[in-house]
Amino acid sequence: MLAEFSGYIAADELYDGPFCVLSIVDNHRFHRLIYEVLDHDPTQDDIRRFFGRFKRHLDTRSLTLVGITTDGSSLYPDPIVQVFGPEVKHQLCEFHVLQEITRAVLKAVTQARKRLKTRKIPCGRGRPCGRKARVIARRNKRLQQRIKDLFDHRHLFVKKKLTAQEKRLLQRITRGFPALRTLRTDMDQTYGLFERT
């Protein structure tokens, strides 16, 4: 597999019950180059030892590592520098970056729904009686619809491309929530960072 080594690798860990599989894949050719099975959660020492083993394979063949991609775990930065040196470029995986940002955006939408719930005014069961009760019931109904809209259409905050209709819908359900509109703008900019054009 190292005969066509591209110089770029991706390192990751996969957990399966009590075991953890460390693996290195050629990031351009998508071949697994080396792996190791641990019976415990990996430490930086495990990663350092694993990288050292891989580096010996490279040195034997006079191959050079140019760049390495990881998932952003704190396990990797120090061992990368210690084993391969500071000149090897280290980048985070696009998928994991987007996953973390998406999770944070959806959490913010959930918090907005919870804030809306606290604005509902408690009222008695059954048909509202009196003008004030009817006003409260209408207000609560509108709030409940907004909460439902934010839940039903939460995917619009993180979807990569929105249609014109979806953009109009998002504008409607975020009326009065400038922070949520900013989140959508932030997602567009984040996706733009990974556009090859």
Q: How many helices (H) and strands (E) does the chain have?
A: 6, 5
Residue 40 · residue 33 · CB < 8 Å: no
- Can you read off the two tokens belonging to residue 84? 């391969």
pTM of structure: 0.63
82: containing domain: 2-92
Whether residue 188 sits in one domain with residue 112: yes
Q: Which residues pair with 47 in a beta bridge?
A: none
Asked whether residue 103 falls in the same domain as residue 173, the answer is: yes
Answer yes or no: do 152 and 119 share one domain. Answer: yes
Q: Sign of the CA dihedral 148, 151, 157, 161?
A: negative
For the domain that residue 47 is a member of, what is the CATH number? 3.30.420.10
Q: Which residue has the higher pLDDT, 191 or 127?
A: 191
Report percent pLDDT > 70 for the chain: 95
**92, 120, 139: which is the final residue of a domain?**
92
Does the pLDDT value for residue 149 go beyond 70?
yes
Number of domains in the chain: 2
Segment 165-170 mean pLDDT = 95
Q: What's the CA gap between 85 and 91, in Å, rounded?
A: 14
Question: CA-to-CA distance for 30 and 158, rounded, in angstroms?
Answer: 28
Binned at pLDDT 50, 70 and 90, residue 172 comes out as very high
Of 73, 92, 111, the residue that ends a domain is 92
Q: Are residues 49 and 35 in the same domain?
A: yes
Do both 19 and 85 map to the same domain?
A: yes
